[in-house]
Amino acid sequence: MIIDTTEPAAPPEPKRCNLMLHQGASAVSRGRLAEAATPPPTTSWKPIPHIHLLQTVEKALIEHGLTVQGQAHGLTHDGARYFGLLEVNTSSSETSRVVGIRNAHDMRFAAGIVAGSSVLVCDNLCFAGEIAFARKHTTGILRDLAGLAGSAVGRLNCYWENNEQRIHRYRSVRIGDVRAHDLIVRAVDNGVMANSYIPRVLGEWREPSHPEFRARTVWSLQNAYTEVFKGRLDLLPGRTARLHELLDQEVGLAV
């Protein structure tokens, strides 16, 4: 099947997100993204153009009444791997709502999206893996993609509402150095990060890069983690899910 990657006439392109793409990625325009070559399919492997996945997600967002306010796109591994960010309907002056998109032409990972939030003062990102959909590049992907994207987008507002409640709770719970140090070590035990990250997270907790996080709260501690983690969007969904498990329990949100 031939996919038409020609984009229809549209309003001016939304502003570029002021967000860091994953390590080693080159920021590209939509036009450059559309030019990225898609390898030929095999009997069992059916790669799709990066731009097709982006347009499918954008259409699902529009159908659910969500407006894209900013975007950023990156390619790595000679264009074989794509990660995109879409900022949608910001409802808070402190955080923005973000949709992450990824696709691969080297069989590294499935096509999919994941919901998240961005802390505006420092461009730190959190992604929730439980909102993601992932579709392997197998027969029927073009048939299934729109339905999967629509279903995932339909659950986004619920996630973002819950996350606003999480942020409010994190900000209201104060912790001291002793407890923060314990949680930083426990993050290693919970698979949030490797041992090598401890000094950097600890340093960010003690001397935050941004004055907004000098308050001794769980919110500040979360941002100590994400300040260190930013730049590796490819790892953030799993890290965020495990970090939330740890911190939700600390503030009494764990089920």
Give the C-alpha separation, 34 to 68, whole Å.
Answer: 18
> Which pLDDT band holds residue 239 (cuts at 50, 70, 90)?
confident
- Cα–Cα distance for residue pair 111/147, rounded to 1 Å: 13
3-state SS of 183-208 is HHHHHHHCCCCCHHHHHHHHHHHHCC
Q: What average pLDDT is seen over the chain? A: 84
Answer whether residue 130 shows pLDDT above 80. Answer: no
Task: Measure the CA–CA gap between 165 and 159, rounded to whole angstroms.
Answer: 10
Higher pLDDT, 11 or 141: 141
What's the pLDDT score for residue 169?
Answer: 95
Work out the pLDDT band at 1, boundaries 50, 70, 90: very low
Give residue-wise pLDDT tens across range 144-157: 999 999 998 888 88
- How big, in percent rounded to 5, are the helix, strand and coil portions of the chain? 40, 20, 35
SS3 83: strand
Rounded to the nearest 5°, which phi and psi values hold at 104?
-140, 140
- Residue whose token pair is 């893996």: 129
**pLDDT given at position 222:** 94
Give the rounded distance of the alpha carbon of 164 from its chain centre: 16
pLDDT-derived band at 21, boundaries 50, 70, 90? low
**Residue-level pLDDT at 24:** 58
Could you report the per-residue pLDDT of 53-81, keeping only the tens digit for each?
999 999 999 999 999 988 888 888 889 98
**Unique residue bearing structure tokens 């939030």:** 117
Q: pLDDT for 155-190, tens place per residue?
A: 888 888 888 889 999 999 999 999 999 999 999 999
For the segment 71-123, what is each residue's pLDDT rounded down to a tens digit? 888 888 889 988 888 888 766 656 778 888 889 999 988 898 887 776 554 45
Specify whether the CB–CB gap between 149 and 48 falls below 8 A: no
- Burial class of residue 188 in the structure, from the number of CB atoms within 10 Å of its CB (0-12 exposed, 13-18 middle, 19+ buried): middle
